[in-house]
Amino acid sequence: MTIWVDAFLGNPPKAGAELVAYWQSEGVINSRPDITDSQAYARKLRHEAQTRERA
């Protein structure tokens, strides 16, 4: 896994702050302005997945 990450990123983030900065630069963080409460949104998704009709 590390070899793939190194090859893909070149110099991968080593600390949490570096990872967050990388995610922000790539648009991963704050990419969904329509989701104002991420915990409530996650609960809603989880509930929908657990109660969906199965074919």
- Asked whether residue 6 carries a pLDDT value surpassing 70, the answer given is no
Backbone angles phi, psi at 43, to 5 degrees: -60, -40
> Please, which pLDDT band fits residue 34 given cuts at 50, 70 and 90?
very high
Within the chain, residue ranges assigned H as helices are 2-9, 16-26, 38-51
This prediction has a pTM of 0.53
